[in-house]
Structures are given as structure tokens and as C-alpha cells.
Amino acid sequence: MIDIKDQEQLLKLISNLLKEDIVCTAIGGTAMMFLGYKETTKDIDLVFNDEKERQIFIEAIKEIGYKEKSLSGIYDQEHREHKKRPKMFSRGDERFDLFLKDVFGYKLGKKFIERRDFIGKKELIVYVLSEEELILLKGITGREKDYEDIETIMNTNKEIDWDLIVDNAIKQKTSNSWILIDLEENLQKLKEKFFIPHQIFDKIHQAEGKV
């Protein structure tokens, strides 16, 4: 487990070990910590724009003892065999999940709500996605705890833009055929605890061709 202070210190340290400046996007627990929804996370999830930048980051974390690990035990078989699966590195109980360009077929939007710069010898710029994209992504990674994280966001933030989430999912359904199904499954579960307008389900059904 890593808390926000550790995470920031670790990223600052990495910025001192980088060979070049790099830019990436924080998703999952990392983004939730930056936005103040969580105090600790198991893994640091980052998405890179190109392989070169991911490789520069990997070289830096290898220098401080992170080793590549298999995805088994963390992701289910479907995700382990996905061509857009992440590279995973761990050191003790801290872990990095490093994605390239997209997350299991989900292309990240260009809209971010926060930017964190870690300026050491080089610069590590980390963009943080909005709550809506985080919820959508949590729905497609299929890991334990991801559903709990969605509930954590919902418990704190009552102003989630469901239309935006569904619209994003619809936009991505060609590259990620399960996205609407995963989203609906999560929303059905959430409906038992939180209010979600029925029009949102209608919109998903329409996009799935059920009506």
C-alpha cells in the first residue's frame, strides 16, 4: 500500500532518475488519491502516450529496484490476454501498472481536471482524469476493489455527470465491445445504493440495440 505522501515522494524521486522529460496520465487509485477520494492505493496506474516514454519511465523505476511481474493473480484471464494489457512492475508491496496509449481498448479523453508536475533533474508531468472517466475506467479494468472505488467516488461526489459517462462509453464501443455491458452491470449494482436516472439505462439499451 502507498499513501499520497509516499506516492508524491516516489514520483519526485523518479523525476530525478528520468533520462528525458515525460508526460503521462494517472488513472485508477492514483488519480483518486490525487483528487482526494482515497488515502492509500495498492498500485500506481499510469498511461503513456508512446512506448519511448514508457520505456524511459521503466528504466527509472528499475534503477530503484522495481521488477517486472506477471499479470496473473491481479487481472483475470481475459484482461491478461488483452493486446492492450499493461506492464506491471513491483517492489515490495508497491506496484506500477503501466499502460500504453489506452486501457484495455479504452482511449483516454483529452480533458483532464488536474495536472501535477514533478520537477527533479527532469520533468514528470502527470495529468489526472475527471471522476466520470475514472468511473468508466474502473468499470472496464475488472479488478477486485474497482467496484468499491466507484462507490467511494459516488459516496463523496453527488454531482456525477452520467450522460457524459454513457456518451464516452458509446463513443468507444467499437474499440471496446464490452464497455457498455460492463458499464450497465456496474450501474445496476450501483442502483441499489444510489439514485441513477432511468434515462441513463434507456440510453445504454438504445446504444446496445436492445430497444
* Chain positions contacting another protein, by CB under 8 A: 8, 11-12, 15, 21, 35-37, 112-120, 123, 156-157
Alpha-carbon distance values, 174 to 83, 164, 171, 179 (Å): 15, 17, 8, 9
Residues making up the chain, counted from first to last: 211
Beta strands at 67-69 and 87-91: parallel, antiparallel or unpaired: antiparallel
Q: Kindly state the smallest distance separating residue 155's Cβ from another protein, in Å.
A: 10
Beta strands at 94-100 and 43-48: parallel, antiparallel or unpaired: parallel
Choose between 12 and 101: whose C-beta lies nearer to another protein.
Answer: 12
Q: What whole-number distance in Å separates Cα of residue 14 and Cα of residue 2? A: 15
Q: What whole-number distance in Å separates Cα of residue 128 and Cα of residue 42? A: 18
Q: Kindly state the smallest distance separating residue 8's Cβ from another protein, in Å.
A: 6
Q: Kindly state the smallest distance separating residue 173's Cβ from another protein, in Å.
A: 28
Cβ–Cβ contacts within 10 Å for residue 76, how many? 14
Q: Kindly state the smallest distance separating residue 39's Cβ from another protein, in Å.
A: 9
Q: Kindly state the smallest distance separating residue 5's Cβ from another protein, in Å.
A: 11
Q: Kindly state the smallest distance separating residue 187's Cβ from another protein, in Å.
A: 22
Choose between 100 and 113: whose C-beta lies nearer to another protein.
Answer: 113
Cβ–Cβ contacts within 10 Å for residue 124, how many? 26
Choose between 59 and 117: whose C-beta lies nearer to another protein.
Answer: 117
Choose between 115 and 171: whose C-beta lies nearer to another protein.
Answer: 115
Choose between 21 and 76: whose C-beta lies nearer to another protein.
Answer: 21
Choose between 106 and 118: whose C-beta lies nearer to another protein.
Answer: 118
SS (H, E, C) 187-205: HHHHHCCCCCCHHHHHHHH
Q: What whole-number distance in Å separates Cα of residue 143 and Cα of residue 40? A: 16
Q: What whole-number distance in Å separates Cα of residue 20 and Cα of residue 54? A: 11
